[in-house]
Amino acid sequence: MKTLIIAEKPDMGRNIAAAIDPKAKNHRTYIEGEQYIITWAIGHLIGLAEPDAYDDRYKKWNINDLPIIPSVFKLVPNRKTLDQLKVIKELAKRCDQLINCCDAGREGQYIFSLIQRHLKLKQPVKRLWISDLTPETIRKGFAELKDGSEYENLTKAATARSEADWLIGMNGSRAFTTRHNVLLSVGRVQTPVLALIYDRQKTIENFDSLKFFEVEGQFEQGDTHYRGMWQGDRITDPKQAETIAAKVKGKQGRIASYEVKDVKEYPFKLYDLTLLQREANGKLGFSAKKTLDIAQALYEKHKVISYPRTNSNYVTEQNIPEMHKALASLQGTAYDELAKGANRGLVHKGNKFICNPAKVEDHHAILPTHRKATSLSPDESKLYDMIVRRFLSQFYPAAEYKSHTVLTEVEGETFKTNVKELLSLGWKAIYADQKKEKGKGGKKDKDEETEEEEEVNEPFGVDAQSAVLCRDAVSKEKDTQPPKHYTEGTLLKAMESAGKQIEDEEVRDAMKDSGLGTPATRAATIERLKNVGYITMQGKKIMITQKGRTAIELIRAAGVELLTSPEMTGMWERRLNEIARGGASDAQFMENVKKFATMIVQKVRVQNRVDSKAFEGETPAAKGNSRKSKTSGGSSSGGGTSAKGSRSAPQRAKAAEADASGGGTAVLTSEPSVVANCPRPGCGGKLFMGRKGYGCSNYRIGCKFVIWKDSFGRSLTDSQVKALVEKGKTAKLKLVTNDGRQTEGRIVLRNVETGELAVEEV
């Protein structure tokens, strides 16, 4: 009999066939040679069954039927891929051994185990564990196949993670939904991520900006000109700042202190998936999901990068020769000049900035392979370029600078100057044709009194013994700034580092290398929050909706605030890691999860039902309005809003079931409340608040009036919209213009036909 190879996806199966049996015959859904039959899953062919598979009564949602805790979890095939599952079943009958070639990680292990369990496959199993799909790596992996039993604990951890998520998601979502009569999705990862967004938005809304003043001096000594910032307590009185500026202007001073240090800046770390997603969002505007999808195509379809779903920025000793081979393969490509200028000697086993086996778990950092990149789409080329340049930078020396710190004293006042003099570009030559790479920490918050550092390419220096002239001095007005709204890039960073403030040291350590979610699932979590109507995008900014706000407030008010905290995920990840290593019991873990699911239901059951107005974002007010209203400064944020009307109980159950298990995006509505009369002449309609804006009840018969809720850096309230409609303007507000400038002014209704808004500065 033959050996059945099961890959995770078709491209992976074809790559394996080409490497180990190139003469095998392609039968569309499988490839067969003399020794092997190679087939594949298509992602998850099988999932956990919905509650009504256990009892028909669960088709109707009733809080008294909760918690739902199966004694044994039932599996159900994905209807869309049922044919491929049947193919695997029939092929397995002809084979006496299986090789698990699904992705080398927890999810890949789980996909295979579900197929094995559902089809009751009893053949012995071998495991392929590789990090890229080059023919050499595949052949080497087959020469070093492991016994499937070595990964049994990883299977237990993967199964426990999935079943635990089901228990929390199904029971939590059903409990909150039935108690408050609006579809509310709850999840172990998505809920604390939503809480991060909620807390950031509340901080921004409650932020009180303060004015302060800085004094900048312009100095000269011979042919050297430089500027310095006044040193002292923050100035809040403009007269004090002006007095200091007038006092020093035109006066002689002296160099009170002058320090020069040699500084080296080393290349940034190699990419893991989350870092790649963060930077692709910042530089290219890609969503986390788009980056993951493109990276997967570069890995699976084009085979030009290694396995992308990694959480490591390092490689092992075995990867060093592969890196040298990949470097050589870049010669003769668009990277020829950079590849030829590289120093191979910098990438070696002793370089702990690159090679650190202790920090490589399942997969090493993302690397280009030695395959030539051809036929890439424009977006694939952009992401590949980021990966290749980051890789090449490791073969270049540190950038070298002289750091100059000057303290200049004039009339008893001290000014500080920081100058960074470039000596050698080093690895930054890789990016010389691009915009300047930001430092690891990004820009500092504007509300900090930053010690501005000026970077220069020419030699800089002062004579500490000679006099200095203060040519000019000016007072500059500044405002403290609130934290910035999350983008997908900054949210990914927050998810990755979540839990660092947890007091429990063990839990904090468990989250140190995991955070909220995994590199492979974080993009899906963000997409899920969008799909269930908890967040919306305003350009790159993530904005929480009214539904999202209320969900977090209800969960915290119910006394299950642990659901909104990274701490629970930290505890889970610690235990799951122990299960994967064989140091903890998956059965005990599941018992604890069942107790927690039961506690959630008990807490929600006695919670006071909230007023329907708390879910005003769930009305069908502005359905059909998919345009963006233009303002005097460009386009105001927003987009179309649509919501589904009220449903029958079975419909509501199915919609919410999909919501709890990662499926559909249905919205259950409450009664809309009138905010104001539509101001459009002759309309006669009423304005209601939708999820993204205030639309007219007469939209079905052609009224295009809509005011977008998120406009000019504000999330408009009902009373502000009412003032716009009835008085034509709001009260004085702190606003952000469309070019990012902060100002004070009123939002005015510019066009009563469309709802177009503008800013009137005061």
Catalytic center residues: 307
DSSP state of 713: T
Give the separation between CA 105 and CA 108, rounded to whole angstroms. 5
Tokens for 61, please give them: 């949602």
- Nearest one of 268, 371, 295, 357 to 320, comparing CA atoms: 357
Phi, psi (5° rounding) for residue 437?
A: -70, 135
Phi, psi (5° rounding) for residue 122?
A: -110, 0
Report the SS3 class of residue 585: coil
Tokens for 541, please give them: 């900014």
Tokens for 288, please give them: 């986390």
Based on DSSP, count helices (H) and strands (E) in the chain, helices before strands: 20, 29
Tokens for 485, please give them: 């709204």
Characterize the bridge pairing of strands 95-101 and 125-127.
parallel
Q: Do residues 305 and 295 make contact, with C-beta atoms less than 8 angstroms apart?
A: yes
Q: Give CA separation, 294 vs 213, 277, 382, in Å.
A: 47, 10, 10
**Among all chains, which residue has been given the structure tokens 């690159």?**
354
Q: Do residues 2 and 95 make contact, with C-beta atoms less than 8 angstroms apart?
A: yes
Characterize the bridge pairing of strands 2-7 and 95-101.
parallel
Spatial neighbors of 381 by CB under 8 A, at least 6 apart, are: 373
Q: Do residues 709 and 689 make contact, with C-beta atoms less than 8 angstroms apart?
A: yes
Give DSSP secondary structure letters for 334-400: TTHHHHHT--GGGSSTT-TTTB-GGG-SS-----B-SS---S--HHHHHHHHHHHHHHHHTTSPPEE
**Among all chains, which residue has been given the structure tokens 């403030």?**
501
Characterize the bridge pairing of strands 95-101 and 399-410.
unpaired
Report the SS3 class of residue 659: helix
Question: Vertex 266, ends 263 and 270: CA angle to 5°?
Answer: 165
